[in-house]
Amino acid sequence: MSAFSDSLTGELNAALTFLRRLEGQRKGSAFAFEMTMDRHRYGALIVLERWADLTRAFAGHVELGIYQELFDSAAPRVKEAGDVLERANNVVDAADHYGPEVVEACRMAFDRAAAIFEGEQAAAARAASLGPMQPEEFREFRRVFLGDLGAR
């Protein structure tokens, strides 16, 4: 869960950072920033897709204790977050410039998408606090998710 949570948060934060750099500019006026922002806003959707695939593939094969319910109920939350991000992407795509209203709409959407996974974020924070005492299956699961995400 920590690899998923960290990856999603990273993509959303990076997309918002580059969108803020574009604020007030017309589309096409800062191509490198636009391409980087696009890579991260669509990267967040890829992270969601990979999480859905992983939770579906490993359903019934992992034992996560108190976090089992989070893992087992990932699909509807992934869909909800994906829908929120798609709507934000539609706002960006439909705008002729990166006005403050576009930036604020995306910030709100990104915050909402992240909030859908508060449980995973809490699990990731707890796991991080364990440091080297993390169980081997935690490290293996993180490696599998990040490896799959990197292959995409």
In this predicted structure, the answer to whether residue 141 has a pLDDT above a threshold of 70 is: no
pLDDT at 134: 67
Average pLDDT over residues 30-44: 95
CA triple 137-113-77, angle to 5 deg: 60
Full-model pTM: 0.83
In this predicted structure, the answer to whether residue 44 has a pLDDT above a threshold of 80 is: yes
Is-contact 121 5, C-beta < 8 A?
A: yes
Determine how many CB atoms are found less than 10 A away from the CB of residue 69.
10
pLDDT bracket for residue 131 (50, 70, 90): low
pLDDT bracket for residue 149 (50, 70, 90): low
Looking up tokens 């017309």, which residue turns up? 26
pLDDT at 22: 97
Position with higher pLDDT, 24 vs 58 = 24
In this predicted structure, the answer to whether residue 112 has a pLDDT above a threshold of 80 is: yes
Q: Where are the domains of the chain?
A: 2-151
For the chain, the C-alpha Rg in angstroms (whole number) is: 17
